[in-house]
Amino acid sequence: MQCVVLFLVAGALAAVSAQPGSGNTTKPHIIFIVADDLGWNDVGWHNPDVKTPVLDQLAHDGVILNQTYVNYVCTPSRTAFMTGYFPYHVGMQHGAMLPEQPAGVPSKFTFLPEELKELGYSTHVVGKWHLGFCNWNYTPTYRGFDSFYGFYNGQDDYYKHTVLGGLDLRDDKEVVKTKDGEYSTYFFTDRIVDIIEKNPLGLPLFLYLPFQNVHEPLQVPKRFEDMYSNVQNENRRIFLGMVSAMDEAIGNVTMAMKKAGLWDNTLLIFTADNGGWPLFSGNNFPLRGGKITLWEGGTRASAFVHGKMLQKTGYTSDEMIHAVDWFPTILAAAGGTADPGMDGVSQLDTLVSGQPSPRTEFVYNIDDDFPTKQGAIRVGDYKLIEGYAGKPDGWIRPDNLTESQPDSGDPITGTWLFNLKDDPTEHHNLADTMPDKLKEMQGKLEDYRKTIVPAIWPKNDPKGNPKHWDGAWSPGWC
């Protein structure tokens, strides 16, 4: 299938790369943006009350992806992005990695930038890592990135750049101590622009931009919060300001690409890493649930693609895509071919020319460890959840909570079967009324479960505490 994909899109990519202003490369520049904890209802193309003019324009000029799925929380999704494997095949399925856990994505898994470097790319990551740091071999510049500017853990104070009492900000391997009081989104954007302007070899760029926004803590310069003076709820007002701050930053990145003459040969991919977290004012209405749940609100991402190489644009695609597919898709766009044993499949033909997705099913997650013992799959239009589905599990509106139903009344664990084509908001459990379909889906889930890799979830190790490392979260203790 991947050979067919490459053949179909080769003409489009070659035509774009030959245009004036495309740079000195025949390969496209690739920008892969991941928005942290961004909800379904937290973008302008789903909710006109959200001020994201840059993202809206990019989405409407490209292809809005209406059936793109991620994992329910940070580390598993980032594992899928970087490895092309479902987290339950890597050992990263149990949750978001904790700061003092002596763990990381096993080194036997090749990361996407390692493959891209073999194809001649200059590879850079700016923002959040969250794939392990207790050993240097788990860190970005040991996993294929030419440069890293960001933080290792799952969250950071946007001004102090600390978490749990330790400084967490790096420039490659060096601790950065000079940014106290500066809003991180500003200087992360400055670094991205600097990378774009100082690409002296004219190499094709791979920019992995896992934004800190809009993960808590809820912090944003006042000028962004003031854009939502009509929003009465303070936390929601700040959260929306954080969305708009990210939108402005992405606008500055695209402007830099245009000034450098690189934009016409750029493929831009934008996706959330999981659903919005209602606890911290993220919103997924009308979808059910949110971050840390297997409901659609926790796993269906706001996403789009943009680029001159897209032959069909200005529409919304309902083709099925999963986070694991971005690895082989990006690799195919760069002229490479992924390992055929990988869980991910290239969606390049789907994105470029609107062809049907090669994917017909996927695994939301499989985890055999307490307290989140769970399994969930989608096959065609049907979705099965068994075990722990997560809370909140209701339908939460962004502001007027009196009209919300934050809790469905369902138990924390159970069995649910939905037809997502007919019931995308998961109101009608068909488990009792469609026993044959339930049995079929349970059999499929058990087949998937046979290939599970035990979760890597060690106990915290106090050796990792920043007090042992001059006050900074640092590698070298596992």
**Residues with a known catalytic role:** 74, 130
Tell me how far apart the terminal alpha carbons of the chain are, to the nearest angstrom. 41
- Token pair, residue 57, equals 């324009």
Work out the angle at residue 59's Cα, subtended by the Cα atoms of residues 53 and 65, and round it to the nearest 5 degrees: 140
Determine contact, residues 78/34, Cβ cutoff 8 Å. yes
Per-residue CA distances from 340 to 143, 247, 343 (Å): 21, 36, 8
Measure the CA–CA gap between 29 and 238, rounded to whole angstroms.
Answer: 33
- Residue 293 identity: T
Task: Convert 388-402 to b/e letters by CB count within 10 Å (16 or more is b).
Answer: bbbbbbbbbebbeee
Task: Check: CB of residue 1 under 8 Å from CB of residue 358.
Answer: yes
Q: Give me the residues paired with residue 413 across strands.
A: 388
d(CA 47, CA 44) in angstroms, rounded, equals: 5
Neighbours of 3 (CB within 10 A): 10
Name the token pair of 371: 């307290």
Residues 6+ positions from 346 with CB-CB distance below 8 Å: 1, 2, 5, 325, 328, 329, 331, 332, 338, 358
What sign does the CA torsion over 38, 156, 128, 267 have? Answer: positive
| Residue partners of 235: CB distance under 8 A and separation at least 6 | 218, 280, 281
* Distance from C-alpha of 296 to C-alpha of 302, rounded to nearest angstrom: 11
- Write out 294-362 in H/E/C secondary structure: CCHHHHECCEEEECCCCCCCCEEECCCEEHHHHHHHHHHHCCCCCCCCCCCCCCHHHHHHCCCCCCCEE
Residue 248 CA to its chain's centroid (Å): 19
Residues 6+ apart with CB under 8 A from 446: none
